[in-house]
Structure 1
Amino acid sequence: MLRKKGSLVLCGAFLFITWNAVLVLLLRGRPSPGAEQRGVAEGPAGDVVADVLRMADAFEAELGRQKEILLQIKSRRSPLDPSGGGGAGGGAEAAFAPRPPVIPILVIACNRVTVRRCLDKLLRLRPSEELHPIVVSQDCGHAETAEVIRSYGGAVTHLRQPDLSDVAVAPQHRKFQGYYKISRHYRWALNQVFRTLGHAAAVIVEDDLEVAPDFFEYFRALLPVLQSDRSLWCVSAWNDNGRDGLVDPGRPDLLYRTDFFPGLGWMLLRELWEELEPKWPAAFWDDWMRQPEQRRERACVRPEISRTLTFGRQGVSLGQFYDKFLRHTKLNADFVPFSTLDLSYLREDSYRRSFQTAVYATAAAVSYEDLVQGRLQGAGPFRLQYSSRDAFKMLAKNLGVMDDLKSGVPRTGYRGVVSFFYKGRRVYLAPPPGWSQYDPSWS
């Protein structure tokens, strides 16, 4: 496509130069009326001819400049061809090399002055200001937090959610006022990013998240995967069961598909926002995202080892899950060059086949007692089966993984399977073979 565009431009430029050159030659070769008899043109007609000749001289000079520009374009080194000059990547195609995608980071802020910790890490790790503009959207009108954000000057864009009024709610929901305001803020902020600023994709983080060294690399490499696979609807930096001891420390490169919407540092496309925005909920937006009507059997990509870490115990959830789970999440410390890896294994068909083979053919079936008492043969992986909601919750709780379900989907689950490490071995907490769908009553 680039070669075709370059050829069309060169042909057009050639025709333009040829036409103007012919015009110049015709004008300069045309004698003035009566010039042979009088030597010079006189009167209005002579003035017109003189003006035309002056225009021809100007055209000729301009054509020379255009020729120089075209020669420079022709010899310009292509960013797709480091050797420069000729070859498949050289020539005019270089001028039409696709621009790298811009992926803004939308920071959702309110009244935490510790947003500084989040922003400092983002700015220190950001590989490019142009490719990753940081947009901080602040709700709450908290002056001290606003001053912290202002202190970064032009390094970030500071937006303020204009509607700070209370949301009209039913009396029994007054204690959830904060959740209503958060949902309103998300809607406003995402409209700013996608509709006002016109971005095609965005990564959302909240003001209490710290990011890993390869946070930007992770999302840049997975953007093409998200764009090309309609069975995916987000990429998340978070593993709900990412506590130290539940993840394989030797596989920071390992990625999964999950049917559970993780959040906590996630990327979406503008097309998804255009789908969700008209029906965006008044409150509890994240659990709303986990309903089958929104998920529509689509999955997210999530890592083995989290690329975000939450440090905000205080919030509208009053520390729910924080002390028991979130504070112990392992943040990846190694840079994984995801953009150099083959991520095609994440495509739906190939991933489903290989995952089901690993769970139901490769992994040895074991009992809970054998697992916890260490009576296992080999290095694994192992499959621990559950057949009911209560069985899942009991096993998950006893093994230290999160036991709650949303619309029937367990955290990190893919086709009902929860993958985690236990005492140095891979374990799949899995439904019986032949699983077909989630039961929303399992919540």
Structure 2
Amino acid sequence: AAAAFHEQEPQVREENGQLAAAAAAQASTPGDGSGGELWDAALLVIAYNRPEYLRQTLDSLATVSSLADVSVYVSQDGHDVGVAGVAAAAGSRGLGRPKTRGYTHWQRERIPLLGPEQPGHAWLAQHYKWAIDRVFLDKRHSHVIIAEDDMLFSQDFVAFFKQTAVLLQRDPSLWCVSTWNDNGIAALATDPRRLFRTSYFPGLGWMMRRELWGEIGPHWP
């Protein structure tokens, strides 16, 4: 089951069935603006210094369906040679055109904004902001799907986001949609077709709109 982050209500409740039906109906409907009907998404993979993990992640991503409408970016923090080699080769290993709308590898200079002794999570937060700014402010994508370099993907990973983008447009109380559910193991899941709202941020494989980044980006930690 997938989860969507709700900014106010603490309780977990099932997503409205009518919205879920609308998401399925509008999954492939073109439109204007950066709302749910327009699908101009970036798929952003955050990487640092784990080349073998990144290789597995990108090989898995290349097997996902519905990538033809998505631009793929690997954002590397720093200049690890192994990571750079894996990222540079991915475009010719199934993530370039025509499989996707395009593949790009970025490298960020590791400049410690809080000083040379800043903690690891500060490096990661700064990398996130740098990469998301490029996706939304420079490339002007309508949505970003964010993954990290230690993930494996189901076949419907992108298709799920295409079908639920309309939920973010129609319900301003939703911050994001995520494909991850910590309790979604086989022993606990009863119906993989059901969507739930949660106050817990499921930050593994998640999507947000450009409008949300306009609100939170300037205040990013």
Question: Shift of residue 124 of structure 1?
Answer: 1.5
Give the distance between the partners of 1:232 and 1:168, measured in 2 at CA. Answer: 31
- 1:269 equivalent to 2:215? Answer no
Matches within 5 A, 1:386-405: none
Counterpart of 1:220 (choices 156, 162, 187) is 162
Secondary structure of 1:165's match? coil
Matches within 5 A, 1:145-184: 145-153=83-91, 155=96, 156-162=103-109, 164-169=110-115, 174=117, 177-184=119-126
Give ranges in structure 1 of 5+ residues lacking alignment.
1-96, 282-443
Q: Residue in 1 aligned with 2:78?
A: 140
Give the distance between the partners of 1:183 and 1:153, measured in 2 at CA. Answer: 26
Give the distance between the partners of 2:180 and 2:167, measured in 1 at CA. Answer: 17
8 Å CA contact 1:110–1:145 kept in 2: the answer is: yes
Q: Residue in 1 aligned with 2:186?
A: 244
Q: Does 1 or 2 have the higher relative contact order (CA < 8 Å, sep 6+)?
A: 2
Distance 1:168 1:230, change over 3 A: closer
8 Å CA contact 1:105–1:135 kept in 2: the answer is: yes
Question: Shift of residue 261 of structure 1?
Answer: 1.1
Secondary structure of 1:134's match? strand
Give the distance between the partners of 1:127 and 1:267, measured in 2 at CA. Answer: 15
8 Å CA contact 1:126–1:132 kept in 2: the answer is: no
Q: Deviations over 1:120-155 (max 9, x none)?
A: 1212214243x1111111103211011001112362
Question: Shift of residue 98 of structure 1?
Answer: 4.2
Q: Which amino acid aligns with 2:75?
A: S
Greater Rg, structure 1 or structure 2? 1
- 1:102 equivalent to 2:40? Answer yes
Q: Deviations over 1:372-426 (max 9, x none)?
A: xxxxxxxxxxxxxxxxxxxxxxxxxxxxxxxxxxxxxxxxxxxxxxxxxxxxxxx
8 Å CA contact 2:65–2:156 kept in 1: the answer is: no
Give the distance between the partners of 2:112 and 2:130, measured in 1 at CA. Answer: 15
What is the alpha-carbon root mean square deviation over aligned residues? 1.9
8 Å CA contact 1:169–1:177 kept in 2: the answer is: no
8 Å CA contact 1:167–1:177 kept in 2: the answer is: no
Q: Which amino acid aligns with 2:171?
A: D
- 1:188 equivalent to 2:141? Answer no
Give the distance between the partners of 2:91 and 2:185, measured in 1 at CA. Answer: 36
Give the distance between the partners of 2:91 and 2:205, measured in 1 at CA. Answer: 24
Q: Which amino acid aligns with 2:162?
A: R
8 Å CA contact 2:65–2:155 kept in 1: the answer is: no
Counterpart of 2:220 (choices 271, 280, 300) is 280
Structure with a larger share of its residues in strand: 2
Give the distance between the partners of 2:217 and 2:169, measured in 1 at CA. Answer: 19
TM-score by length of 2: 0.74
Q: Residue in 2 aligned with 1:406?
A: none
Give ranges in structure 2 of 5+ residues lacking alignment.
1-29, 33-37, 97-102
Structure with a larger share of its residues in helix: 1
Give the distance between the partners of 1:227 and 1:259, measured in 2 at CA. Answer: 19
Q: Which amino acid aligns with 1:244?
A: A
Secondary structure of 2:176's match? strand
Q: Residue in 1 aligned with 2:193?
A: 253
Distance 1:153 1:212, change over 3 A: closer
Counterpart of 1:115 (choices 45, 48, 54) is 54
8 Å CA contact 2:73–2:106 kept in 1: the answer is: yes
Give the distance between the partners of 1:140 and 1:98, measured in 2 at CA. Answer: 38
Secondary structure of 1:241's match? coil
Secondary structure of 2:200's match? coil
Matches within 5 A, 1:284-433: none
Q: Which amino acid aligns with 1:269?
A: R
8 Å CA contact 2:178–2:203 kept in 1: the answer is: yes
8 Å CA contact 2:42–2:144 kept in 1: the answer is: yes
The number of residue pairs the alignment matches comes to 177
Q: Which amino acid aligns with 2:133?
A: N
8 Å CA contact 1:205–1:264 kept in 2: the answer is: yes
